[in-house]
Amino acid sequence: MTFTQDDLRRLVAAEPFPELRRSAGDFQDIEFGGDEPALRGWMLLPDRELDGTRLFVDGKQIATAPITPVDSVAEFFWQVPHARWSGFSYALPRGYLQESALARVDIVGCRGEQPVCKIGAWFRPDIYTNVPLPPEELVWRVAHTRNMRGFRAGGFRAFGDFMTAALRHGAPGPEQQLLDWGCGCGRVTAHFGSFQDGPAVRGCDIDAEAIAWCNQNLTRGTFIANGLWPPTPYADASFDLIMSYSVFTHLSREAQQAWLSEMQRILKPGGLFLASVHGESAARLHMPDRVAQVQELGILDSLPDATLESFVPRGYYRAVFQTQAYTRAEWSEWFDILEFNEYGIGAYQDLVVMQKSLDPAKWNRPKTVNRVARGGTSSDAQAQTAELEREIATLKQQMQTQEGAMVALDKWAHEMERTVKQQQEVIWRYEQMLSVRLARRFRR
């Protein structure tokens, strides 16, 4: 099936409780067969328990259900005490999620009668067959899953998240140019093939194998492999819209700055840049013991991620978490920040909506990455220096702790040595006494 901008605008307009807080979550499966399609999934806030859900289809509430236990969520988010009680399950009444139309599905999480949060997704009846399926290894690299049904559904869901944000700030029409930066094996890009009056599509990624697969299997779009660092081969002001799903989530602060500069270069004045990050919300779910560290540093970019080590140098690809305050302060050096949406992409990553200024004077601001690299005295360099000083202080404290432990160990070793000598002396005296006794016995 295909769809148009009018279809997408209808889905955007049908969103219930537009201002309600989003939660983490997933639509784990939906079955269209039979008289009552089945819908299952989970939703979770790290700081608040839920006890019920409401199901909305195309903006209309059609059912309610209590929260149910989900052991797999409890195992994955084991540091969240109430993670097990996060599930929802519905049998949709006949006539909903028709086999001939796009639909919007939202789950509103409640505490008592009070709506607390929501997750939403777009669905299409051919969701599990509508696009070519990449090899399992390519899917694993971009989505950390081998669930092919989930990969396809998650890709269309992310497509809906990106398009919802884009349509709030202008329509990506057929006369416009779109770039999926970090497209991988086309998780999101593939769904533009059904977008009748959508933009012309380009994609790029550091994974040359994934790019080759896209060029061979996706009929709409042109794809190229790019390097680990800028520049790309695209000309200045090439694109009206750039989207990036789960790329900055793996780049150090220096790499982020370099690529922000490149995105600004290739985006047209007034163009939109939509990018996802791991925010504090993801940190609270995934590693609550490090939230304070993320908040203190602004960005925690030292955690290794070995997913792409088969073709990416060790240390380049990381697991990165950053605060909204850091993102706004640093990224606004390159773009105007229009929105920062918690859990805005895939109900896990945050979505940053940016725009390139129409004022040429703002296109070539001093680049933080260059100032720091060249030893300048900018506030960014000072912040980095302060961070290094904190790390050095922490290392010194750890060394002092280790030195104290070594002193204690040395003292223990001396005590053990003295004890051993005392025991040896006792044994020697015992042997002497035994020898004397034996000698006396033989003389008798």
Burial of 89 from C-beta contacts in 10 A (0-12 / 13-18 / 19+) = middle
Alpha-carbon distance 191 to 193, whole Å? 5
pLDDT of residue 100: 59
User: Order of strands across the sheet with 200-205?
Assistant: 222-225, 200-205, 177-181, 239-244, 267-277, 349-355, 336-345
- Would you give per-residue pLDDT tens digits along the chain (444 residues)? 889 999 999 999 999 999 999 999 999 877 755 566 688 999 999 999 999 999 999 999 999 999 999 999 999 999 999 999 999 999 876 666 665 578 999 999 999 999 999 999 998 888 888 889 999 999 999 998 898 988 999 999 999 999 999 999 987 888 999 999 999 999 999 999 899 999 999 999 999 999 999 999 998 899 999 999 999 999 999 999 999 999 999 999 999 999 999 999 999 999 999 999 999 999 999 999 999 999 999 999 999 999 999 999 999 999 999 999 999 999 999 999 999 999 999 999 999 999 999 999 888 654 544 333 333 334 444 444 555 555 555 555 555 555 655 666 666 766 777 777 777 776 776 666 766 666 666 555
H/E segment holding residue 54: strand 52-57
H/E segment holding residue 355: strand 349-355
Alpha-carbon distance 137 to 294, whole Å? 31
Alpha-carbon distance 251 to 282, whole Å? 16
Which bin fits 203, alpha (ψ -120 to 50), beta or left (φ > 0)?
Answer: beta
pLDDT of residue 383: 47
Q: Which residues, in sequence order, are CB contacts of 181 under 8 Å at separation 6+?
A: 203, 204, 242, 243, 244, 247, 259, 263
Long-range contact set of residues 400-405: C-beta below 8 Å, sequence gap at least 24: none
What domains lie within the chain, and their CATH numbers? 1-124 (2.60.40.10), 126-375 (3.40.50.150)
Q: Which residues, in sequence order, are CB contacts of 107 under 8 Å at separation 6+?
A: 25, 41, 43, 53, 54, 55, 56, 88, 118, 119, 120
Q: How many CB atoms lie within 10 A of CB 134?
A: 25
pLDDT of residue 35: 61
